[in-house]
Structure formats: structure tokens, C-alpha cells
Chains A and B, each alone.
Chain A
């Protein structure tokens, strides 16, 4: 998939955001403080609030979906923009502030060293375990086991939104990704099928996340997307 050999790799961070005006500014500033040369692309996925304005003021390039399509449709738009801008490494993290931008270097390191094509930031590899409802915890374990069974990839946090990709992998993957909302497992299955080297690095989880993830509908859709990806 080609190593990142340039003296200064072009790193892009894509953040899908839907009604995240309270947190998106802090997330973008956190990345810019880490390294102002990192390009932050916020994809405002049809927000009703001031997400667009706040992200732009914080220094991000903001792309807007006129209507809400879903997290993974927003990520695909961000990936396209990053590829148009010659990115070498594309990282993704959530706009709700649950990820610590200072973990970015940890997550992209295996790609810079040429040891991986896709790196997943795992909240379960730290000593301090993330706070989440038990059903969500066991749901993640369940999907980790399914992924291991079907793809042979051993993961501890397969649904994590904090990931880093070698841009050449995204180039191959982009047309193959179909899910608009529940693409976390699809991307792993399809990357694996392309022969990508996948690994995890520990990341911190900053807040107890208020999310619809973990509910029955989310679990069902993850399972559906996993089966679709395996069959497709």
C-alpha cells in the first residue's frame, strides 16, 4: 500500500459532526494546538445548530451536507476532500469530545513507521477503562469476537471512532464503503480483505459518552452491516 516516505507527511483529521456546537470547537482547537500543520476537516452533517460556524472559527475547514446522511456518509465526504488535498495519513475522531486529540500521535505512529495501514484507537487498552453501560461493553466484546471469528483480526475496541488510515488504503476503500451510519465494522472487514495491516493503540476516553450507541437498534444495525460486509 506504499509507505509514507515524505519528510513531513500531510496529515488530515476528518471529524463528522452533527449538532456538536458545544464540543466541536474544543476538539478542533485541541488538534491545532497539538500541531497547527495538521489539517482538520469537519463535515457538518446537516446540523441544525452552529456547528459549522464554531468549527470554522476554531480553524477547521468545514464541509456541509445540506441534510443529515449519517456518520459514515460524512466520513466518506471528508475522505474525498482529504484525498483531493494529497493527504498521506487520514485520521478520524468523534466531534463530541470523547477523544483526546493528544492521542493522535500515538494512533498515527504505526503508519509513520510503516507497520500498519489502519490503526484503531482502543479505549480498552488503557489501565483506566472507559465508563459505559454494561450492555454496550458486552456488545463491543461480542462484535470483537465476531470480527475475530470471520476475519481473524484480534481487536479490543472495534467500534472506536478514533482511527488512522494510510491514505492509499482509503483510496482503495472509498468506493467499497456503502454504509451511511453504521460503518465501523464494514471498514475493518473491507480493509482486511484488501490485505491491510490492522493494529490498535491505547487511547484515553475523556467523558462518559451520551450516545444512542449501545442500544438494541445500534447493535442490530452493526450486525446487519457486518453481515452485509462479509457477504459483499
Chain B
């Protein structure tokens, strides 16, 4: 029987899976990104619903309790997501910089198609 914090965890997971699918339908996420996020949230929801399932991994991870194993996995997942987000932000910043610079240069070329009227070298 699912109860207490488990209900909240499952509820949040279902909500985030729906959000992910909405992003897919809107074309914001591609297929593989949707699979990744939906899969991740489904896994988290599943772990909330059946936490005892982690006990099989305890000897492999050299951990004592299912709760501790869940915490360790959660922290790893959080850092992975943080790293991914940071990388995406860096990429967006780079693209934005290039876009703004190109806009400025294109504006300049529209104003001065043959270069700066005063900036060109005089014919020698």
C-alpha cells in the first residue's frame, strides 16, 4: 500500500512525466530527450512506490540501508542533472553571443555595404 511521502513522490513523478510529454508534443523536446526525462521520472516514481526494490543493490554498493542507497542515488542524479543544465546553459550562451555579434555585424554591413566609409584604407 502506497502512503505518506510515497504518494507525494509518485504524484510528482507523474506530474513531471506529463510535463515532459507536453514538451514533446510542443516540439520543445526531441524523441530521445523525452525518453531520457520520462524514463528518469518513471524510475524515480517507481522507487518511491517500491523502495524495498533497492535492497538487492545494497551489497553491490556496499551500503547498509535502502534509505541510504536512495539518498546516494538521488545525490548522483541531482549532480548529473546540474552538470547537464550547466552544459546546456554554456551552449546557449555561446550561441546567443554569436547571434548577437552577427546581428551587429550584419547591421553594420547594411549601413556600410562596402565597409566603413572613413575606415577603409586610402588608395596608395
Contact = CB atoms under 8 A, between A and B. Distances in A.
Contact of A61 (B103, B118, B121, B124): B118
Interface residues of A, number: 26
Interface stretch (A79-87, A133-141, A185-193, A194-202): A79-87
A77 B115 contact: no
Given A69-B97, A77-B101, A64 B107 contact: yes
A52 B107 CA distance: 14
Contact of A85 (B96, B107, B120, B124): B120
Best-buried of B103, B112, B119 by chain A (most CB within 10 Å): B119
Best-buried of A64, A66, A85, A86 by chain B (most CB within 10 Å): A85
Given A39-B116, A73-B97, A10 B121 contact: yes
Contacts of B118: 39, 61
Interface of A: prevailing SS: mixed
Contact of A63 (B96, B104, B120): B104
A77 B104 CA distance: 8
Contacts of A10: 119, 121
Interface of A: 6-8, 10, 12, 39, 41, 43, 61, 63-67, 69, 73, 76-77, 80-82, 84-87, 180
Interface of B: 93, 96-97, 100-101, 103-105, 107-108, 112, 115-116, 118-122, 124
Given A63-B105, A66-B100, A69-B101, 18 more contacts: A6-B124, A8-B122, A10-B121, A39-B118, A39-B119, A43-B104, A61-B108, A63-B107, A64-B104, A65-B103, A66-B103, A69-B100, A77-B105, A80-B105, A85-B119, A85-B121, A86-B120, A86-B121
26 contacts: A8-B122, A10-B121, A39-B116, A39-B119, A43-B104, A61-B108, A61-B119, A63-B108, A64-B107, A65-B100, A66-B103, A69-B96, A69-B100, A73-B101, A76-B101, A77-B101, A80-B101, A81-B105, A81-B108, A81-B116, A82-B119, A84-B115, A85-B115, A85-B116, A85-B121, A86-B121
